[in-house]
Amino acid sequence: MDTKPKVDENKVVNDSQWLAGQSLIEYKGQWIAVFNKSIVAKDVSLKSVMDAVRELALSYIPLYIRVPEGAIIQ
Amino acid sequence: MIFSYPPGSGDNPFPSEILIDSGADYSILRYDIAKDALGIPVETLPKTSSPATGISGKRLQTVETNIGLTIPYGARSIENLHFPVKIILDKNSQPQISLLGRVPFFHDFRIDFRMGYTDDKSLGKFVLYHEDKKRKAVNYKKPFDVHIKK
């Protein structure tokens, strides 16, 4: 049996909508993982955040967001 | 958005965000998403013939591949598009957020940003739907003729 966590599309939408109402200033330039309306991991490295999430053994794959550190234009 | 790779497999699903950028010709996937999240063998992909150029004017070497893309929204979800993206190889020149450019997304979907519906100017609605009312190409005209004197 495949025990890998899966994506729950409804949770992705809910967490994305929740995130839109949050102040993310303290996370500028970092990747964050959002699970069930909570930020459960953060780091400048996506790989480190994914490793931290793996340790948490969550029931579904969280939403990963990189918080911009300045102007988005390149 | 939910990215996956290879497209159509549903493997390595990665829920994240992408910035709709009507000023970008092509979509750009961040290097860390490509390599660390989706497991794309970035180094082995052939380099594109022309480098990407941002508004800074810097020319950046890219590779190109296809990924799967799902836009979740309940019954209106758009599932598993096969989606071409470019990946900038220089890790120090990555976009802040992956970019969703015009080709081919703007050809296949109509994209509305509906603002000003309430007294709160910060509130708006983002609407995305399949483009199914295309006119014949012959009915389109270029905005003006360009005459170049030699």
CATH number at residue B72: 2.40.70.10
**B29 part of a folded domain:** yes
**Domain assignment of residue B135, yes or no:** no
Helix intervals (H) in chain B: 31-32, 105-108
Does B15 sit within 8 Å of A50, measured CB to CB? no
Domain boundaries, chain A: 9-66
- Predicted ipTM > 0.95: no
**Number of structural domains found in chain B:** 1
| 8 Å CB contact of A73 and B70 | no
Judged against a pLDDT cut of 80, whether residue A4 lies above it is answered with no
State how far residue A56 is from chain B, nearest Cα, in angstroms: 17
* DSSP SS3 for A15: helix
Domain boundaries, position B66 = 2-107
Identify whether B26 is part of a domain.
yes
CB pairs under 8 A between A and B: 61
Is residue B12 in some structural domain? yes
Residue B138 in any domain: the answer is no
Q: Which residue of B has its CA nearest to A48?
A: B36
pLDDT tens digits for chain B (150 residues)?
A: 999 999 988 788 999 999 999 989 899 999 999 999 999 999 999 888 777 776 667 788 999 999 999 998 777 888 888 999 999 999 999 999 999 999 888 888 988 888 888 888 878 888 888 888 777 777 777 766 666 666
Report yes or no: B102 and B82 within 8 Å, Cβ to Cβ: no
pTM here? 0.86
pLDDT exceeds 80 at position A8: yes
Residue B39 domain-assigned? Answer: yes
Burial B81-98 (b: 16+ CB within 10 A, else e): bebbbbbbbeeeebbbbb
